[in-house]
Structure 1
Amino acid sequence: MLYLMELWESIRDFLATGGDVLYIVMGVLFLMWVLMIERYWYLTGAFPKLRNDIIAKWDARKDTTSWYAHRIREAWISEANDKLNARILLIKTCVALCPLVGLLGTVTGMIAVFEIMAVQGTGNPRLMASGISMATIPTMAGMVAALSGMFFATRLESKVRRAKEGLVDSLPHH
């Protein structure tokens, strides 16, 4: 329990050092990971059932060679593809947004440094250092958040592509 309290305090200190923009980075990061976890859950839990239903409907058809049958097959594949790719664009947007929010932290931190310099002059290095850390920490946090999201978003896209290809291969067209 003591370890968790120390961990929470170090996180709180980190957030205080980086300024309020870190809360926005944290929110975008949380949203990104919730969406990615949901997509992984869909790929492993819900999509196999949908895939099996589509394959069963295709196998139950008497006509799989006509033009109409091919359009039905394409429609089922397209619907499955839409469900597979749901929220992928939002995940990629969150990945791209993380460094931009971090840069917003840089701007606000530098504004704080300039305000300190305007009021106190350049004679107080401690106050300037706190503003500079407020400028650099959000940028670093945004970049780390984007890197973690980029890796898993790329893997997720690859899994989605393979799942769609597997469905297409499972529906033979004669």
Structure 2
Amino acid sequence: MIEFLEAIRDFTETGGQVLLVIGLLIFVMWLLILERAMYLLVWHKQAKKDAVAMWKARNDRSSWFAEQVRQKTISQLTIRLNGSIPIIQALVALCPLLGLMGTVTGMIEVFDVMAISGSGNARSMASGVSKATIPTMAGMVGALSGVFAATWLNRMVKSERTHLEDALIIQR
């Protein structure tokens, strides 16, 4: 365990302070993704079952008012289904931007070394280049993983909404 923590510390030192912010952002993003997945796969089933039971318990399922109740129920469940998905999408978009910020800060370090010691000190410049490339890579990896998860979540929400619309049938 100690070796693992030392490896993480070395990696963050190589990538600079921006890497810590990117890591925190990815951690929060994946917590929100896991929360949404748990809601979709576990808790939503009970909410859907309650909504269908409420609909079937109604005597009037064919009037204009019944259609409005149906739409309200579908809308409320859809809002609960979407939950934190917009926040997840915003965090996905923020990952590459923070990676770009890490690139800029690393390149500033390279230019500082070049200004002080000239372009002949390759070892000092290599440190700045790694601080420029590692945050970029981390931001892109976080964004890619988040894009796949957000796409899956959006697809599940659409599917669940369709199933809910089919379950709450208007009787004519």
TM exceeding 0.5: yes
Q: Which amino acid aligns with 1:94?
A: L
Q: Which amino acid aligns with 1:134?
A: K
Q: Which amino acid aligns with 1:63?
A: D
Q: How far apart, CA to CA, are the structure 1 residues paired with 2:6 and 2:146?
A: 25
- Is structure 2 residue 138 aligned with structure 1 residue 155? no
- Please report how far the alpha carbon of residue 6 of structure 1 lies from its aligned counterpart in structure 2 after TM superposition: 2.1
Q: How far apart, CA to CA, are the structure 1 residues paired with 2:158 and 2:23?
A: 29
Q: How far apart, CA to CA, are the structure 2 residues paired with 1:143 and 1:161?
A: 27
Q: Which amino acid aligns with 2:68?
A: R
Q: How far apart, CA to CA, are the structure 2 residues paired with 1:77 and 1:127?
A: 60
Q: Which amino acid aligns with 1:64?
A: R
- Is structure 2 residue 8 aligned with structure 1 residue 11? yes
- Is structure 2 residue 71 aligned with structure 1 residue 36? no
Q: Runs of 5+ in structure 2 lacking a partner? A: none
Q: 2:121 aligns with which of 121, 124, 128?
A: 124
Q: How far apart, CA to CA, are the structure 2 residues paired with 1:150 and 1:69?
A: 38
Q: 2:170 aligns with which of 154, 169, 173?
A: 173
Q: Runs of 5+ in structure 1 lacking a partner? A: none
Q: How far apart, CA to CA, are the structure 2 residues paired with 1:154 and 1:7?
A: 32
- Is structure 2 residue 57 aligned with structure 1 residue 60? yes
Residues 17-51 of structure 1: per-residue CA shift (max 9 Å, x gap) = 00000011001101110100000111122111110
Q: Aligned with 2:119: secondary structure?
A: coil
| 1:109 aligned partner | 106
Q: How far apart, CA to CA, are the structure 1 residues paired with 2:47 and 2:5?
A: 42
Residues 1-24 of structure 1: per-residue CA shift (max 9 Å, x gap) = xxx322222221111000000011
Aligned residues: 171
Q: Which amino acid aligns with 2:146?
A: G
TM-score (norm 1): 0.95
- Is structure 2 residue 20 aligned with structure 1 residue 27? no
Q: How far apart, CA to CA, are the structure 2 residues paired with 1:5 and 1:11?
A: 10
Q: How far apart, CA to CA, are the structure 1 residues paired with 2:19 and 2:25?
A: 10
- Is structure 2 residue 92 aligned with structure 1 residue 95? yes
